């Protein structure tokens, strides 16, 4: 630890993940992530450097940089950027609108729930509600936690949840990526060993068994991170 670190100092952790939707993506190689940087104020009488107006980065020391040689240039952002460069102001609003009930953003809501229904017979209760359903990087987790039965139930529910003409956008994780997570719990290990519906069979299952009339391969994102180069499919109801 840097010699300037003393008891009572405030430590500010800055983690810049650069991940889609703020979600942790386990396939991303660890070396491509920004490291955690701990910034320690030199002056413990004003640990957040509030007296100087805009905080000055020279008042903060980083254990990573204390050896004189910087490990990364321009790579530590997030909280540390605001501390060292001052507040990041949002652009001024050009017009102030009062949200109208039933219109954006009042028509957006978030629900935290298990999309896998408990039993197959509950599927009949699902009514059509949506024109588009996105299912990105979810199938592996449902597959490992609920096996083939759970994943089939998710597919069937999504189908019923769509209005006629609706589309289902699916980004399944490849089978090779399952192995790294199979031993998370006894349940995931047991399900992993019993899986027979492999991701390469999803397109035929969704069209032949679930009811989607057709599908298109939309391509795979060309990203530098191999774990994100996953195929994306569009299924038509
Ligand atoms: C790797 S993240 C992908 C997140 C996001 N869809 C994306 O592409 O960035 C996997 C997501 O699957 C969700 N998930 C896993 N099992 C689920 C379930 N049974 N019901 C609903 N969501 C589930 C998790 O909550 C998590 O947000």
Taking the C-alpha atoms of residue 128 and residue 67, their distance in angstroms, rounded to an integer, is 61
Does residue 166 or residue 101 have the better pLDDT? 166
CA of 108 to the centre of ligand 1 (A): 18
Tokens for 226?
């191999």
Instruction: Indicate which residue's Cα is closest to atom 26 of ligand 1.
Output: 138
**Nearest residue (CA) to ligand 1, atom 1:** 137
Question: Which two tokens mark 208?
Answer: 């032949």
**pLDDT tens digits for 34-88?**
334 334 444 444 444 444 443 343 334 443 444 444 444 445 556 777 777 777 7
pLDDT score, position 78? 66
Residue 214 has pLDDT above 70, yes or no: yes
> Ligand 1 center to residue 179 CA distance, Å?
18
Q: Whose CA is nearest to atom 14 of ligand 1?
A: 138
Mutate to test the pocket of ligand 1, among 26, 138, 228 (most ligand atoms within 8 A of CB): 138
Helix, strand or coil, per DSSP, at residue 166: strand
Residue ranges lining ligand 1, Cβ < 6 Å: 20-21, 23, 25, 114-116, 136-138, 141-142
Peptide bond into 105 cis (omega under 30): yes
Mean pLDDT of the chain: 75
Give percent above pLDDT 70 in the chain: 67
For ligand 1, atom 10, the nearest C-alpha belongs to 138
Q: Which of 18, 22, 23 to mutate to test the pocket of ligand 1 (most atoms within 8 A of CB)?
A: 23
Residue 19's contacts (CB-CB under 8 Å, 6 or more residues apart) are 25, 28
Give the Cα separation of 40 and 62 in Å (integer): 6
Ligand 1 atom having least distance to the Cα of 115: 20
Percent pLDDT > 90 in the chain is 50
- The minimum-distance atom of ligand 1 relative to the CA of 114 is 20
Q: Where is average pLDDT lowest: 7-16, 30-39, 139-148?
A: 7-16
- Nearest atom in ligand 1 to the alpha carbon of residue 134 is 6
Task: Please compute, for residue 234, the number of CA atoms within 13 A of its CA located in the half-sphere on the CB side.
Answer: 11
> Of 9 and 120, which is predicted with more confidence?
120
Closest CA to 49 of 60, 62, 38: 60
Give the residue, by CA position, lying nearest to ligand 1 atom 25: 138
């Amino acid at each position: 630890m840097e010699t300037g670190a003393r008891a009572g100092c405030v430590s500010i952790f800055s983690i810049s993940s650069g991940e889609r939707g703020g979600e942790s993506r386990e396939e991303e190689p660890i070396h491509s992530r920004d490291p955690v940087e701990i910034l320690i104020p030199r002056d413990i009488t004003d640990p957040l450097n509030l007296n100087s107006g805009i905080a000055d980065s020279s008042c903060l020391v980083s254990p990573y940089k204390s050896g004189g040689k910087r490990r990364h240039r321009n790579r530590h952002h997030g909280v540390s950027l605001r501390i060292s460069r001052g507040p990041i102001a949002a652009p001024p609003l050009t017009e102030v609108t009062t949200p109208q009930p039933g219109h954006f953003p009042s028509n957006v809501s978030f629900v935290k729930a298990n999309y896998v229904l408990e039993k197959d017979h509950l599927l009949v209760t699902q009514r059509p509600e949506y024109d588009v359903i996105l299912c990105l990087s979810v199938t592996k987790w449902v597959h490992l936690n609920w096996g083939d039965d759970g994943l089939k139930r998710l597919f069937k529910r999504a189908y019923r949840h769509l209005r006629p003409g609706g589309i289902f956008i699916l980004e399944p994780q490849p089978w090779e990526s399952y192995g790294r997570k199979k031993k998370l719990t006894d349940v995931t290990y047991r399900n992993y060993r019993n899986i027979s519906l492999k991701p390469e069979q999803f397109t035929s299952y969704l069209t032949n068994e679930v009811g989607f009339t057709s599908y298109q391969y939309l391509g795979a994102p060309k990203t530098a991170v191999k774990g994100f180069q996953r195929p994306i499919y569009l299924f038509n109801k």
